[in-house]
Structure 1
Amino acid sequence: MRPRFEQRNVLAAAASGVSDFISGRGGDAGKVFEQAGVNERCLGDPFLALDLSDYCAMMETAAAETGDDNFGLWFGQQFQPRSLGLIGEIALAAPTLGAALDNLASLFPYHQQATETRFTQDADGLLHLEYRILDGRILERRQDAELTMGMFANVFRSSLGPGWTPEEVHFEHPRPFAWHDHRDAFDAPVYFGQRTNGLVFRNRHLDRRMPKGDLARLTDLRAQLVALAGSTGAPPFLERVRAEIRSRLPEGPPHIEVVAGSMGLARWTLQRRLADQGISFSQLVEEVRRALAAHYVRQPHIPLSDLASQLGYAELSVFSRAFARWFGCAPSRVRTAGGWH
């Protein structure tokens, strides 16, 4: 039976080949699926869906099970658009590379709900293909971000050849331990702790023909995807606000006007809707910082000064005091003890 599409699903084709990839890296695929709550029989079926949280958990669990902290990075590098189901076929059926990117950006949230994908141009004339999850409940999502950037890069390569490289690659998570692998995989500068995940590239070759472009097929595939998913999904209001807060923390304490504007709301409207939920904006910022601090402090390769900056603190001492208030001990003590006890 096909699962009912709700607020945050991802089509199971996004996990095509993951079982073999886990096994090839020395992991127990069955154990990974069981721990993540994923039904292995759904994997790779272009018309079935997985819960987005379970999908992200599966990739994080696979990284731990295989002992490969860059599991998502390497899985994405080998993942070809044709394996991605309808959204991959849509990109390949577009007449030009520019049309492929337009369709990818506009339709990817149907393939993977509760996400934002944008195709934009910055003030310097560079183009950005950006992606992030909008559900603030999904804290652990690094592997998903890294595999998605690899998938996106392979859309370019399907038109421009395997040697195509971006100008830059951006990731929202802090710099991982083996970060040189990311630079080598994309053959480009990689920046961590950014507002969103994205590929940055120059405004050229967008008129290059896609090798399998077929406008009639593109139109049919677009209709299939929209009908299958039903919607782009919508995380609960508080989770969307948490996501906007998270994306702006590396720039410093987020301002309510900026977060409200990113959601298309006036400041007073956001304040009123938060009050209706029994919480203030400052309390929500505190909750997001606390949850991320608990997540990142367990990763010893992230210097505490970088962790403080990732959470919007200008000084480590200020972050340390906040951490002690939340958890009753200094973050350095958690690190020294090797984790929570």
Structure 2
Amino acid sequence: MDVPVQQSAFQDRAGDHSVVLAAAAHGAVDFITARGGDPERVAAVAGVDLRQLEIPTDPIDLRGYCGLFEEAARQTGEDNFGLWYGQQFEPHMLGLIGFIALASPTLGEAAKNLAHYFPLHQSGTRTRLFTRDGLLHLEYQIVDGRIVNRRQDAELTMGMFVNLFRHCLGRTWSPEEVHLEHAAPQAPEEHEHAFHAPIFFGRGSNRLVFRNDQLDRPMPGADPQLLSLLRATLTRVAQTTQLAFKDRLTGEIRTHLAAGEVKFPDIAAALRMSQSALLRRLEDENIGFAKLVEQVRREQARAYLAQRHIAVSEIALLLGYSEISAFSRAFKRWEGISPNHYRAMALGD
């Protein structure tokens, strides 16, 4: 079964910040508690009202949602919190988008529907299903540039996606590869154990890579009438966002930075603009492209340095510097201190 490029084409229509339907946090309170955390304290730091999680179709701020899992990892001391939360998260727990996938006629259609409708379940997000070199790629990215810390979200979402395939093909199913856009964590061997597949960190996006030889397998709960109803319902309750140009631009810079370099033509193409149109837009909004790239590097450097296990030399490479000395000079210009000094202060050493 050959699957063409499949990408969300929904138009943003309301709101000024990215949101996700509360079903995405199903069971989060119990999971935090089971890991020795205090859900109230975690939510307070993340800026999330736990009452928001009670109605599956209610929208919650996406930055707060990501922060909830980042803070849960910090407070519980479970660095791979999002990984294990996602592994136990079954498709029906996702609410409308999960039931859309489950009601699809085949696994292939379920994957297409997941990619196509996911940005209605979670705005400020890009999802794609496409074929490359004979393999299928189910890709997921947050494109809201204001959300810096999102490692836990990436890992839990990949777990949610894998469990859709396992629902149809059995618990032993595994993808060919799993790609994650963040740096390798402290215990990356846990990821290979969870996904039963090779894991590649520091990639340009989060994605599952898998063969297409079983996509015609019928979904156990296929229901055409229910599928039609669920699609209409999700479209009606969704609150997609119109991201400000600078936030979307920042998001694309952050995405390309994860791949090691940021090139103006690539950013223009990602924004579906010509280079000349992007230049005019930057001038109109008084945005300096090079300055914005440096700002994103600075934010990402701070986030990486707050993680003890990532070597400064690796951070330099992740931010697109060919030499650690160049990164160190840039960081000292930004913060007035060396990366090692900043890390010691951030970690309380």
| Coarse TM-score class (shorter-chain normalised) | over 0.9
> SS of 1:306's equivalent?
helix
Aligned letter for 2:227? L
Kindly state the Cα deviation for residue 64 of structure 1 after the two structures are TM-superposed: 1.1
Summarize deviations over 1:32-58 as a string: whole Å, max 9, x none: 122222221221522211110111111
Aligned residue-pair number: 336
Aligned letter for 2:134? G
Residues 44, 166 of structure 1: alpha-carbon distance in 2 compared, 3 angstrom cutoff:
farther
**Residue 208 of structure 1: which of 185, 195, 217 is its match?**
217
Kindly state the Cα deviation for residue 140 of structure 1 after the two structures are TM-superposed: 0.6
Kindly state the Cα deviation for residue 338 of structure 1 after the two structures are TM-superposed: 5.5
Q: Which runs of 5+ in 1 are unaligned?
A: none
Contact 1:81 / 1:151 at 8 angstroms: preserved in 2? Answer: yes
Aligned letter for 1:48? D
**Residue 193 of structure 2: which of 154, 159, 184 is its match?**
184
Give, in whole Å, the separation in 2 of the partners of 1:148 and 1:316. Answer: 32
Q: Determine if the alignment matches structure 1 residue 68 to structure 2 residue 55.
A: no
> SS of 2:134's equivalent?
coil
Match in the other structure for 1:56 = 66
Match in the other structure for 1:143 = 152
Aligned letter for 2:319? L
Summarize deviations over 1:236-270 as a string: whole Å, max 9, x none: 11111111111112444311111001111011111
Give, in whole Å, the separation in 1 of the partners of 2:16 and 2:336. Answer: 39
Q: Which moved more, 1:43-52 or 1:189-198?
A: 43-52
Contact 1:91 / 1:101 at 8 angstroms: preserved in 2? Answer: yes
> SS of 1:132's equivalent?
strand
Match in the other structure for 2:162 = 153
What does 1:180-259 align with in structure 2 at a 5 Å threshold? 180-231=189-240, 233-259=241-267
Kindly state the Cα deviation for residue 336 of structure 1 after the two structures are TM-superposed: 4.4
Q: Which moved more, 1:251-260 or 1:295-304?
A: 251-260
Kindly state the Cα deviation for residue 323 of structure 1 after the two structures are TM-superposed: 0.6
Contact 1:127 / 1:201 at 8 angstroms: preserved in 2? Answer: yes
Give, in whole Å, the separation in 1 of the partners of 2:140 and 2:264. Answer: 22
Match in the other structure for 2:5 = none
> SS of 1:211's equivalent?
coil
Match in the other structure for 2:38 = 28
Give, in whole Å, the separation in 1 of the partners of 2:224 and 2:44. Answer: 41
> SS of 2:178's equivalent?
strand
Residues 308, 156 of structure 1: alpha-carbon distance in 2 compared, 3 angstrom cutoff:
same
Residues 340, 284 of structure 1: alpha-carbon distance in 2 compared, 3 angstrom cutoff:
farther
Give, in whole Å, the separation in 2 of the partners of 1:150 and 1:266. Answer: 36
Q: Determine if the alignment matches structure 1 residue 121 to structure 2 residue 111.
A: no
Q: Determine if the alignment matches structure 1 residue 300 to structure 2 residue 308.
A: yes
Contact 2:184 / 2:202 at 8 angstroms: preserved in 1? Answer: yes
**Residue 143 of structure 2: which of 134, 149, 165 is its match?**
134
Match in the other structure for 1:264 = 272
TM-score scaled by length of structure 2? 0.93
Give, in whole Å, the separation in 1 of the partners of 2:345 and 2:61. Answer: 35
Q: Determine if the alignment matches structure 1 residue 110 to structure 2 residue 107.
A: no
Give, in whole Å, the separation in 2 of the partners of 1:269 and 1:190. Answer: 38
Give, in whole Å, the separation in 1 of the partners of 2:95 and 2:281. Answer: 38
Match in the other structure for 2:341 = 333
Kindly state the Cα deviation for residue 25 of structure 1 after the two structures are TM-superposed: 0.6
Kindly state the Cα deviation for residue 6 of structure 1 after the two structures are TM-superposed: 5.3
Match in the other structure for 2:10 = none
**Residue 50 of structure 2: which of 29, 40, 50 is its match?**
40
Give, in whole Å, the separation in 2 of the partners of 1:172 and 1:92. Answer: 27
Q: Determine if the alignment matches structure 1 residue 83 to structure 2 residue 93.
A: yes
Bigger relative contact order (CA 8 A; separation at least 6): 2
Give, in whole Å, the separation in 2 of the partners of 1:16 and 1:186. Answer: 21
Aligned letter for 1:278? N
Contact 2:123 / 2:239 at 8 angstroms: preserved in 1? Answer: no
Give, in whole Å, the separation in 2 of the partners of 1:190 and 1:281. Answer: 33
Match in the other structure for 2:19 = 9
Contact 1:80 / 1:151 at 8 angstroms: preserved in 2? Answer: yes
Q: Which runs of 5+ in 2 are unaligned?
A: 1-13
Give, in whole Å, the separation in 1 of the partners of 2:96 and 2:232. Answer: 10
Residues 337, 260 of structure 1: alpha-carbon distance in 2 compared, 3 angstrom cutoff:
same
**Residue 287 of structure 2: which of 279, 289, 292 is its match?**
279
Aligned letter for 1:173? H
Give, in whole Å, the separation in 2 of the partners of 1:45 and 1:161. Answer: 30
Q: Which moved more, 1:79-88 or 1:27-36?
A: 27-36
Contact 2:16 / 2:244 at 8 angstroms: preserved in 1? Answer: no
> SS of 2:128's equivalent?
strand
TM-score scaled by length of structure 1? 0.95
Cα RMSD over matched residues?
1.5
Match in the other structure for 1:164 = 173
